[in-house]
């Protein structure tokens, strides 16, 4: 907490505008030609920017530790991911606009197809979002309360939904109610501490009631629940740093995370072009812009080296729309590495580029992992990036006389 408190004391409400462009899972590993996805990409705009920027590497959680998306983003927003943790359930809940108060527990739901107690399809054939919303409506009409605990449902994308349990004596220390496989029996929620017994009972009772209400329906005739979590007590970015932050992101989880730390969230549409245009549209109203590009991570997860490279190239072509806004500080980085070689998140430190009028430039020829390893920005903990951005935006006072 120390650094956060120090920055809070030093922060002023004057200074420049900052854009944080997060290319999800940006960090990579060398492909067949010895270059990473980022290094192999044709990206004249980023490379030109790199020549007049500070490059470096971000250590997201700790050396050798592979971050999930939650800790990854929390770090970028200035939070110590070992001190502040956020369950995936709460992230999705926020993303669909759910209200989660102190003491409430939320969970992510999947509609599934059951045959008696056997889970046949964990995603109910990925039913359409509209159809899923109707199922949620039907359930919401029948299940309002269980053992004195209020139940609120929110529809999500495709087969997904969010449920919020509100009542006394609930705990998030409950295992997922999900067998994680198909053709096997349902696995119910279990309390991992005695204090969580009530939550486990209510959750399993909810699952039973869902199966009752949907009996005879197809393909969605049951549900799974994962990621039980309570709303974390997180100090908010506007209060901490006297900034007006906004999230420009299309995916619910990232919008939810941003909301949780006190950012405004605007409608960013669906595609990359709309995403970048949205920044320009709301540029006058905020001073910190978190812009989230999902697809670098998606292609990395697919093990698609060329696909990930192409996402970088598409972002590069759109980069002038951000540069034209002349932000005082622009950072391009990721929330973790997703090397296509590994088809998943990894522990490798993440390249970053920081552009402002006050950088020690001239050490780097292009934007890539190799240049970042020897760049003038050094290797820093990701949780320190926000303070560095505030400094470059001239928003921090001097420490001590």
User: Looking at 192, 326, 360, 365, which residue binds its own copies (CB under 8 A)?
Assistant: 360
191 near its own copies, judged by CB under 8 A = no
Minimum CB separation from its own copies for residue 276, in Å? 27
With helix as H, strand as E and coil as C, how does 78-122 read? Answer: CCCCCCCCCCHHHHHHHHCCCCCCCCCEEEEEEEEEEECCEEEEC
Decide whether 63 or 147 has the Cβ nearer to its own copies. 63
* R_g of the chain computed on alpha carbons: 22
Decide whether 57 or 279 has the Cβ nearer to its own copies. 57
User: Looking at 130, 147, 270, 399, which residue binds its own copies (CB under 8 A)?
Assistant: 399
298 near its own copies, judged by CB under 8 A = no
User: Looking at 69, 132, 171, 204, which residue binds its own copies (CB under 8 A)?
Assistant: 69
Report which secondary-structure segment, H or E, holds 128.
none
Q: x/- binding map, residues 227-256, to its own copies, per CB under 8 A?
A: x-----------------------------
Minimum CB separation from its own copies for residue 320, in Å? 24
User: Looking at 11, 57, 237, 246, which residue binds its own copies (CB under 8 A)?
Assistant: 57
- Residues recorded for the chain: 401
374 near its own copies, judged by CB under 8 A = yes
Q: If we measure between CA atoms, which residue out of 209, 204, 210 comes closest to residue 174?
A: 204
Tokens of 338: 């997703």
Q: If we measure between CA atoms, which residue out of 231, 291, 236 comes closest to residue 263?
A: 236
Which range, of 96-104, 196-204, 266-274, 373-381, touches its own copies by CB under 8 A?
373-381
Q: How buried is residue 9: exposed, middle or buried, by Cβ count under 10 Å (0-12/13-18/19+)?
A: exposed
Which range, of 196-204, 206-214, 322-330, 337-345, touches its own copies by CB under 8 A?
337-345
Residue 147 to residue 104: CA distance in whole angstroms: 15
Q: x/- binding map, residues 22-51, to its own copies, per CB under 8 A?
A: -------xx---x-x---------------
Residue 343 to residue 15: CA distance in whole angstroms: 41
361 near its own copies, judged by CB under 8 A = yes
CA angle 260, 398, 242 (to 5 degrees): 25
Sign of the CA dihedral 103, 109, 114, 120?
A: negative
Residue 367 to residue 197: CA distance in whole angstroms: 51
Contact call for residues 336 and 346 (beta carbons, < 8 A): yes
Which range, of 17-25, 40-48, 262-270, 359-367, touches its own copies by CB under 8 A?
359-367
Which range, of 17-25, 63-71, 134-142, 147-155, touches its own copies by CB under 8 A?
63-71
Residue 59 to residue 139: CA distance in whole angstroms: 44
Contact call for residues 249 and 267 (beta carbons, < 8 A): no
Angstrom CA distances, 342 to 95, 346, 352, 371, stand at: 28, 8, 21, 22
List the beta bridge partners of residue 177. 225
Which range, of 136-144, 154-162, 318-326, 385-393, touches its own copies by CB under 8 A?
385-393
Which range, of 139-147, 307-315, 320-328, 335-343, touches its own copies by CB under 8 A?
335-343
Decide whether 77 or 276 has the Cβ nearer to its own copies. 77
194 near its own copies, judged by CB under 8 A = no
Minimum CB separation from its own copies for residue 398, in Å? 5
Which range, of 17-25, 65-73, 176-184, 197-205, touches its own copies by CB under 8 A?
65-73
87 near its own copies, judged by CB under 8 A = yes
Decide whether 88 or 160 has the Cβ nearer to its own copies. 88
List the beta bridge partners of residue 185. 118
Report which secondary-structure segment, H or E, holds 166.
strand 160-166
Decide whether 237 or 359 has the Cβ nearer to its own copies. 359
70 near its own copies, judged by CB under 8 A = yes
Q: If we measure between CA atoms, which residue out of 274, 284, 247 comes closest to residue 263?
A: 247
Query: Where do contacts with its own copies occur on this chain (CB under 8 A)?
Result: 2-3, 6-7, 10, 29-30, 34, 36, 57, 61-71, 81-82, 85-88, 91, 227, 339, 341-342, 345-349, 357-363, 369-370, 373-376, 378-381, 384, 387-392, 396-401
């Amino acid at each position: 907490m120390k650094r956060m408190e120090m920055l809070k004391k030093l922060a002023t409400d004057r200074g420049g505008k900052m854009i944080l462009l997060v290319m999800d899972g940006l960090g990579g590993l060398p492909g067949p030609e010895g270059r990473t996805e980022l290094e192999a990409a044709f990206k004249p705009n980023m490379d030109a920017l790199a020549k007049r920027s500070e490059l470096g590497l971000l250590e997201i959680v700790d050396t050798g530790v592979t971050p999930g998306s939650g800790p990854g983003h929390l770090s970028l927003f200035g939070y110590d991911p070992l001190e502040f943790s956020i369950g995936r359930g709460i992230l999705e809940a926020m993303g669909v606009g759910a209200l989660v108060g102190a003491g409430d527990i939320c969970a992510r739901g999947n509609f599934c197809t059951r045959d008696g107690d056997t889970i046949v399809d964990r995603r109910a054939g990925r039913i359409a979002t509209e159809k899923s919303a109707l199922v949620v409506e039907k359930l919401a009409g029948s299940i309002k309360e269980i053992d004195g605990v209020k139940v609120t449902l929110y529809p999500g994308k495709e087969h997904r939904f969010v449920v919020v349990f509100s009542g006394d004596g609930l705990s998030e220390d409950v295992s997922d109610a999900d067998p994680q496989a198909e053709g096997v029996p349902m696995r119910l929620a279990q309390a991992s501490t005695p204090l969580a017994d009530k939550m486990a009972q209510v959750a399993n009772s909810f699952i039973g009631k869902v199966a009752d209400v949907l009996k005879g329906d197809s393909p969605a005739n049951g549900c799974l629940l994962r990621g039980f979590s309570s709303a974390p007590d997180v100090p908010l970015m506007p209060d901490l740093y006297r900034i007006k932050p906004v999230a420009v992101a299309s995916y619910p989880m990232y919008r939810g995370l941003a909301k949780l730390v006190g950012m405004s969230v605007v409608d960013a549409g669906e595609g990359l072009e709309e995403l970048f245009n949205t920044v320009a549209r709301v540029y006058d109203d905020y001073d910190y812009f978190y812009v989230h590009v999902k697809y670098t991570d998606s292609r990395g997860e697919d093990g698609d080296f060329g696909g990930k490279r192409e996402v970088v190239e598409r972002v590069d072509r759109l980069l002038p729309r951000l540069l034209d806004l002349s932000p005082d500080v622009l950072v391009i980085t990721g929330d973790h590495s997703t090397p296509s070689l590994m088809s998943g998140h990894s522990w490798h430190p993440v390249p970053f580029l920081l552009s402002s009028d006050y950088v020690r430039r001239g050490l780097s020829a292009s934007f890539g992992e190799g240049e970042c390893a020897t760049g003038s920005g050094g290797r820093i903990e990701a949780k320190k990036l926000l303070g560095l951005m505030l400094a470059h935006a001239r928003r921090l006072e001097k420490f001590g006389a």
